Amino acid sequence: MKPLELYLHIPFCVQKCKYCDFLSAPASMQERQDYVWSLCQKIRSYRELAKAYHVISIFIGGGTPSLLESSQMMEIVKALRETFFLDGDMEFTVEANPGTLTMEKLHTYRSLGVNRLSLGLQSAKDEELKCLGRIHSFADFLESYQMARRAGFANINVDLMSGIPGQTLPGWEETLRKTAELGPEHISAYGLIIEEGTPFYEMYGEDGKDRAQHEGELPDEETERLMYHRTREILEEYGFTRYEISNYAKPGFACRHNLGYWERTEYLGIGTGAASLIGNQRWNEGGEKITLSGKDQMEEYMFLGLRKMEGVSKAGFSRIFGCEIEAVYGDVIQKMCEKNLLEISGDFIRLTDFGIDVSNYVMSEFLL
């Protein structure tokens, strides 16, 4: 049996955030119930496929999965257990937002085997939360966080966001410290991406190119980069290690599910728009299946693998593709090393700090 990761998408939220381009929207109770029912149907439809796999991680994301009632979550997990072979020590994450969690829901999650909670905080400053269109305050978050600890969650991630309109470098540092001091096992710290179709895109344009019209709102590139570099410095003080471009963890708490995406572990996405990689095929639910050529797979191995701070393994490359990495990418690697964008450390090729800042430039070089 091969390892498999499962992603379940819950496309509901209380209110859409201004930066959010995920498939998610407010919905009625009835809609949510209907969705859960069809999600369970869909899960069960994979009965045949499931036979070849054992599940190493589950991630229920959204949207705001914590919006679901305990009973609905139970139905979903029941369907999962009946369909898939779930490893006893698998990582099982549920995404939750402050303001939607209750002690009762948390106890239910625990009883269902959920062992990791991912909390969306984004900022410790209420004015920034308001600017993002979040429904909660920092105090709301603290309450949810402590409740989760009391419920017994020993692996908690907190999502943070830099580059928020109006954010300053000291403000960001304050958010980092306030969060780190709470002692979560994992922090994801993303730079704001202005995505098409979001209210922020309307305001600031593609890549924030219309930022000048809103002077002083979006931190400039220089500040944004400083924020990024300070993030690692500060979180290291609290015992975190950066293991991916935007992810930081205490030892042993790197998110196994997400590492799977960057290491091209097979995964099955279930629910509206969810993405799957099974064998050499990628698809999004409701969309066409794309068959990846050998070249596509090599490219993915590189540009996804380079997101990890340890980099990509040369031995891993030759094991998977049956040829030396140098035979395919020797010139690119050399060129990127000369520019101080990549470095080689033993079996691993990884981005330098400078390389991270301009990683799109580096990664695009690996497209064949």
Partner 1 sequence: MAGIEQKNIRNFCIIAHIDHGKSTLADRIIEMTGLLTSREMQSQVLDNMELERERGITIKAQAVRTVYQAKNGEEYIFNLIDTPGHVDFNYEVSRSLAACDGAILVVDAAQGVEAQTLANVYLALDHDLDVMPVINKIDLPSADPERVIEEIEDVIGIEAEDAPRISAKTGQNVEDVLEQIVEKIPAPEGDPDAPLQALIFDSLYDSYKGVIVFCRIKEGTVKKGTPIRMMATGAKAEVVEVGYFGAGQFIPCDELSAGMVGYITASLKNVKDTRVGDTITNAAHPCAEPLPGYKKVNPMVYCGMYPADGAKYPDLRDALEKLQLNDASLQFEPETSIALGFGFRCGFLGLLHLEIIQERLEREYNLDLVTTAPGVIYKVYKTNGEVIELTNPSNLPDPSEIEYMEEPIVKAEIMVTSEFIGAIMELCQERRGVYDGMEYIEETRAVLRYHLPLNEIIYDFFDALKSRSRGYASFDYEMDGYVQSDLVKLDILINKEEVDALSFIVHADTAYERGRRMCEKLKEEIPRQLFEIPIQAAIGSKIIARETVKAMRKDVLAKCYGGDITRKKKLLEKQKEGKKRMRQVGNVEIPQKAFMSVLKLDDK
Residues that bind partner 1 (CB under 8 A): 7, 190-193, 221-222, 224-225, 245-246, 258, 261-262, 267, 269, 273-277, 282, 284, 290, 299-300, 303-304, 307, 339, 341, 354, 356-361, 363-365, 367
310: amino acid identity, one letter:
E
> Which one, 112 or 341, has the nearer CB to partner 1?
341
| CB of 335 vs partner 1, minimal distance in Å | 11
Rounded CA separation 171/175 (Å)? 6
| CB of 43 vs partner 1, minimal distance in Å | 17
| CB of 191 vs partner 1, minimal distance in Å | 4
> Which one, 113 or 273, has the nearer CB to partner 1?
273
DSSP string, 196-242: TTSHHHHHH-GGGTTGGGGTTTSPPHHHHHHHHHHHHHHHHHTT-EE
Q: Which residues contact 226 (CB under 8 A, 6 or more apart)?
A: 169
> Which one, 102 or 280, has the nearer CB to partner 1?
280
> Which one, 106 or 219, has the nearer CB to partner 1?
219
| CB of 70 vs partner 1, minimal distance in Å | 26
> Which one, 3 or 191, has the nearer CB to partner 1?
191
Find the helix packing angle between 70-83 and 29-45, rounded to 10°.
10
Rounded CA separation 279/340 (Å)? 35
Q: In what order do the strands lie in the sheet with 312-313?
A: 312-313, 348-351, 342-345
> Which one, 28 or 360, has the nearer CB to partner 1?
360
| CB of 150 vs partner 1, minimal distance in Å | 29
161: amino acid identity, one letter:
M
> Which one, 110 or 230, has the nearer CB to partner 1?
230
> Which one, 213 or 281, has the nearer CB to partner 1?
281
In 3D space, the residue among 261, 268, 272, 230 whose CA is nearest the CA of residue 248 turns out to be: 230
Question: Where is 149: in which H helix or E strand?
Answer: helix 138-150
In 3D space, the residue among 215, 138, 218, 219 whose CA is nearest the CA of residue 174 turns out to be: 138
| CB of 325 vs partner 1, minimal distance in Å | 18
Q: What tokens appear for 105 in the block?
A: 């829901």
Integer-rounded Cα radius of gyration of the chain: 21
In 3D space, the residue among 225, 191, 219, 215 whose CA is nearest the CA of residue 19 turns out to be: 191
| CB of 193 vs partner 1, minimal distance in Å | 6
- Per the CB < 8 A criterion, the answer to whether 160 and 123 are in contact is yes
| CB of 354 vs partner 1, minimal distance in Å | 8
